Amino acid sequence: MARIARLSVIAALIVAMFSSFVSAQQPEAKQKQAKSAPDLTNVAYGPHERNVFDLWKAKCDTPTPLVVYIHGGGFQANSKESVSAQLLKACLDSGISVATTNYRLSPEYQFPTHYMDSARAIQFLRLKAKDYNLDPKRVAATGASAGGATSLWIAFHDDMADLNSPDPVLRESTRLTCVAVVDAQSTYDPRVIKQIIGGSGELFKPLLAFYGLEPGEVDSDRAHQLYEAASPINYATADDPPVWMHYREAKRRVPDNAGSGQGSHHPNFGYSLKDKLDKLGVGCVVRHASEYPGPRTPIRAAERGTSGEMVDFFKRQFGMQ
């Protein structure tokens, strides 16, 4: 009995020691996943309360390249805080500064407000490049879903700089060095979406508010003009910057009886855009989650995976490799 008692005590001590070790390691593990605090927080780039950005400055004596993160959320939700800690760390470790920006949301605001707010944030950062130790000639955009589509729309759009504007921000360029996006839609035209991914051809529900349309207007001439104006692919030309895209949704055609919104992150959004960019001679890479082992997350730097590939893409386009 005494031996059993001694074994019990020893076992208890081992359990206690192991528990202490695990507890000691947990804060470090959590810290690895936590985002570092930005150097600048909620800097206003415009008059609205959501016209703000955060900035992490890479440590460097010379001006650094900049990646601007534009959040997703169907143009009606989410915020700049959704940036991946892994992507943020991978950029900063590579000498690339990162800004994350908010924009006005639907249903209160409609197209093109979301796009124009994001473009203005880029222009503001260029205006303040010297103050923030940024290189205004090396600026990229990234984002997921709606944030990715916004990045593509700005990248393909003609330069929106107005050199005669009384607002110094609007005199700055909106052109980008490159774009790397996740689950981005290349078109918001339901007629085109039905052709490339299948489905019923219904307008994705969040887009009603994005466009400011009533259900009875979705097939009107006004609606068609809005669809065409809001779709990034329609602006692509041979002088546009290179693109890297990643998708997590299954590679299968959406059935005709699928509900509205199914297929909203379909890889065919990327492959159809690649077809056009290839013909224009614009560099374009489309990757799918099936090409990566392990968890299908788009921006995990720990296993390199897509985040590592995304940051390598930035570095090549910025002339860092």
Residues 6 or more apart whose Cβ sits within 8 Å of residue 296: 248, 289
> What SS3 state is found at 183?
coil
Q: State mean pLDDT over 254-280.
A: 89
Question: In 3D, which of 165, 184, 155 has the Cα closest to residue 68?
Answer: 155
For residues 259 and 96, what is the distance between their CA atoms, to the nearest angstrom?
Answer: 41
In the chain, the domains with their CATH numbers are 35-317 (3.40.50.1820)
The helices-and-strands tally (H runs, E runs) of the chain is: 10, 8
How far is Cα of residue 134 from the mean position of the Cα atoms in its chain? 20
Question: In 3D, which of 155, 175, 180 has the Cα closest to residue 232?
Answer: 155
- pLDDT per position as a tens digit, 60-97: 999 999 999 999 999 999 999 999 999 999 999 999 99
Residue written as token pair 């927080």 = 41
For residues 198 and 255, what is the distance between their CA atoms, to the nearest angstrom?
Answer: 6
pLDDT at 26 over 70: no
- pLDDT per position as a tens digit, 116-163: 999 999 999 999 999 999 999 999 999 999 999 999 999 999 999 999
- pLDDT per position as a tens digit, 185-231: 999 999 999 999 988 888 888 999 999 999 999 999 999 999 999 99
For residue 124, which phi and psi values (nearest 5 degrees)? -65, -45
pLDDT at 21 over 90: no
Q: Copy the structure tokens of residue 42.
A: 């909620």
Q: Copy the structure tokens of residue 190.
A: 């339901």
Q: Copy the structure tokens of residue 232.
A: 């990034």
- What pTM does this model have? 0.87
